[in-house]
Structure 1
Amino acid sequence: MATSREESAAAARRAVTHLGRRLRAERPAGALNGTKLTVLSHLYRLGPSTPKDIATAARHQPQSLSRTFAELQEAGLISRRPGEHDRRAAVLTITEVGRDALVRDMAHRDAWLARALDALTDAEVDLIRIAATLLDQIAESPSDQDQRADQAKTTVR
């Protein structure tokens, strides 16, 4: 029998998955794909980063994002420069054009979501804001994979 936390976890997963699908469906025609949005969002929130840092945060291998990085750079949405300490390493930065594209994409989906929230009471909207903060916090929690990797590092030392 499922515990209350397990039931809550399953309910949260279902709701987040459903909302994620709906938000993807609300993207305008011709919008950037999800992987490109992930890269731009990372650079927008956290500033200049290496391809490895972006891939790690997105739970991808850097090689699997190489084409995405190249396409974003070619479109003028990101810039690439050599690292300060290691000139062979790249540092990626979102450009003004990239920032504008990301903001337009977010604004379109935020407008749909704001209209959907109009059906809720002020108290329910406040609850959504609190839940969103908590969901962000949960999303930053280490995964089982991260914990196993940390344990392996400790064991090797």
Structure 2
Amino acid sequence: MTDATVTVSRSAARAARDLRILVGRLRRRFLEQSDSRELTPSQQSLVSRLSKADSSASDLATAERVRPQAVAATLNILEERGLIERRPDPADRRRQLVSLSDAGREFHEGRRRAGDEWLATVMQEKFSEDERRIVLEALTLLERLGQE
């Protein structure tokens, strides 16, 4: 929606701003709760993508919307840390597929688990059952934002 003639209501503008701020805060808190091994956000993003499926460097660059050279440099660091492995693509021997190593998978799962446990504990302590139901209803609405 880059059309300059679209008028955004005050409530939509406030909700967008407040949600953006909250997501940033929650992201920082998740990172505080987990062992990041001092990975940069771009390194963490590639680890997260690779946890879902193996990929080529060029596909990762496209998904991350960065130059292939940037992904190559990031992958080199992840490989040095033992978090990824590369192997020839069986469908095209000229390409390499990148996957998480066992250590990379363990690292990603540990971070995810630590974040989930922290958030569940905080929600249990700070929200009543009714409030948690409201959060779940709001998440159903917010899920539509990710479907575009």
> TM-score normalised to the size of structure 2?
0.76
Deviation by residue 1:47-86 (Cα, 9 ceiling, x = unmatched): 1111122222223222112122112223332111222343
Distance in 2 of aligned mates of 1:44 and 1:136: 21
Matching residue's letter, 2:17: A
The counterpart of 1:100, out of the listed 92, 99, 106, is 106
Q: Give the superposition deviation at 1:2.
A: 5.2
The counterpart of 2:120, out of the listed 102, 114, 118, is 114
Distance in 1 of aligned mates of 2:75 and 2:140: 29
Deviation by residue 1:5-45 (Cα, 9 ceiling, x = unmatched): 22222221121122122222333373533222211111112
8 Å Cα contact 2:54/2:97 also seen in 1: yes
Calculate percent identity across the aligned residue pairs. Answer: 29
Q: 1:12 to 1:123 in 2, by over 3 A?
A: same
Q: Give the superposition deviation at 1:117.
A: 0.7
8 Å Cα contact 2:34/2:110 also seen in 1: no
DSSP-derived class of the 1:30 partner:
coil
Matching residue's letter, 1:98: G
Aligned to 2:130: 123
Distance in 1 of aligned mates of 2:101 and 2:139: 28
Q: Give the superposition deviation at 1:122.
A: 2.0
Over aligned residues, Cα RMSD in angstroms?
2.5
Deviation by residue 1:106-145 (Cα, 9 ceiling, x = unmatched): 222222212211211223323434544654552453xxxx
Q: 1:105 to 1:92 in 2, by over 3 A?
A: same
Distance in 1 of aligned mates of 2:63 and 2:128: 35
> TM-score normalised to the size of structure 1?
0.73
Q: 1:9 to 1:97 in 2, by over 3 A?
A: same
DSSP-derived class of the 1:28 partner:
coil
Matched, 1:32 2:39: yes
Matching residue's letter, 1:56: T
Consecutive unaligned residues of structure 1, counting only runs of 5 or more, are 142-157
Matched, 1:53 2:77: no
Q: 1:98 to 1:130 in 2, by over 3 A?
A: farther
Count, aligned residues:
140
Matching residue's letter, 1:99: R
